Structure 1
Amino acid sequence: MQAIVEAMAEGDVEAVARLRLAAFFEGTGRTLEEDITALRGLIAGDGFEAAFVARLGGSPIGSCLFVRNENDPAHDLTPWLAGLVDNKFYRGRGVGAALLRAVEAHAASVGVSGLYLYTWQARRFYETLGWTAVEAFKQDGEPMVLMARELASYSVPAR
């Protein structure tokens, strides 16, 4: 069975917030309620920013965001692909790539010509999908890389 990627809905928010807390915010003090509130604000926004969810059998197994501003950015850039997360039991099945493509397609549809993201551990994953490392640096003492993707000639990949 292949995951379905679509816009996040209210019914996805709590499950996605739990995935995000485990992946990105453990030990930071961010609460489940804070992430739920942030995701609800994003999906109720102006249509420029967007949140996508991957579902398998109706259950959320991953998510990715398109946002104007990254949390605690080290660079004055916009917009961002942020918070790509998937359930570890579904890795290697194309879920992350499908979520990334959904964000890229949305960004291109709203007139964006390029995107940015931060990562370290997933650098090779993004590089295989057309992203370029721009700058390696340290943030809060941890290694990080700024990556970019030009969307000017972006077209939605055939399925």
Structure 2
Amino acid sequence: MITLKTLTPASSLWTTAATQIGAISWSAGPHLAQVMTTVTWQPWERVIYATDGDRFVGCCALLANDIVPATDYTPFISTVYVDPTYRQRGISLKLVQTAEQAAVAADITGLYIVTRHVGLYEHLDYQLVDQQDDQFGRPSRILYKALNKNHSFTNSDNLTKKQ
């Protein structure tokens, strides 16, 4: 059974999660693991950690900053990852929705996602607001979704670009 846990640096699973996330073959995993172990986290920042029993199967993070360095956009859902053997089961959707719920609980009214994919997050009501190169020089899309406390995370939201 897939279990999602919302972690902070004070969580007992933090070090284990950082180690497992750091072992992901996708370069974003080691980057997030480094952030987990070397950066001071804001009180509302979180890692959403998915497991199947003791096996790590996926993650994402709710962060103040992501890989687009010259922007005033904040906060972000970052590093959405699902182990290839667990894909096509809706886990990434659950990871993002759990991060959205953590954001709502922290009184965050909107979230950004940096991606190079087209169509992956739009079905979750994220809308394109900008395009910029990320810190690696890759062209990236910046998507935004407005949140509210009564949001069901399945209905369309109106776009409000953060100023």
Pick the TM interval, shorter chain.
Answer: 0.7 to 0.9
Matched, 1:81 2:93: no
Normalising by structure 1, report the TM-score. 0.79
Task: Note if contact 2:124-2:153 (Cα within 8 Å) is conserved in structure 1.
Answer: no
Amino acid at match of 2:77: L
Q: Tell me how far apart the structure 1 counterparts of residues 143 and 153 of structure 2 sit (CA, whole Å).
A: 21
8 A contact 1:118–1:146 mirrored in 2: yes
Q: CA RMSD in A?
A: 2.6
Given candidates 94, 101, 106, the residue that maps to 1:98 is: 94
- Percent of aligned positions with the same letter in both sequences? 20
Distance 1:5 1:61 in 2: 10
The question of whether the paired residues in 1 share the 8 Å contact of 2:6 and 2:46 is answered with yes
Q: In structure 2, do the counterparts of structure 1 residues 71 and 142 end up closer, same or farther at CA, with 3 Å as the change threshold?
A: closer
> 5+ unaligned residues in a row in structure 1: which ranges?
27-31
1:116 and 1:5 map into 2 onto residues whose CA distance is 21
Q: Deviations over 1:8-33 (max 9, x none)?
A: 423222111212xx22359xxxxx5x
CA deviation vs aligned residue, 1:20-77 (integer Å, no higher than 9, x gap): xx22359xxxxx5x754422457x8453111111111221111100011113424211
Q: Given that residues 108 and 154 in structure 1 are in contact (C-alpha distance below 8 angstroms), is that contact kept between their aligned partners in structure 2?
A: no
Number of corresponding residues? 147
Shift of 1:156: 4.8
What runs of 5+ residues in structure 2 fail to find an aligned partner? Answer: 8-12, 155-163
The equivalent position to 1:47 in structure 2, one of 43, 49, 62, is: 43
Q: What is the aligned partner in structure 2 of residue 136 from structure 1?
A: 131
Residue matched to 1:107: 103
Q: 1:15 aligns with which of 1, 5, 20?
A: 20
Contact 1:105 1:155 in 2 (8 A): no
Residue 94 of structure 1, CA deviation: 0.8
The aligned counterpart of 1:66 is 62
Checking the alignment, whether the CA contact within 8 Å between 2:22 and 2:34 is kept in structure 1 is: no
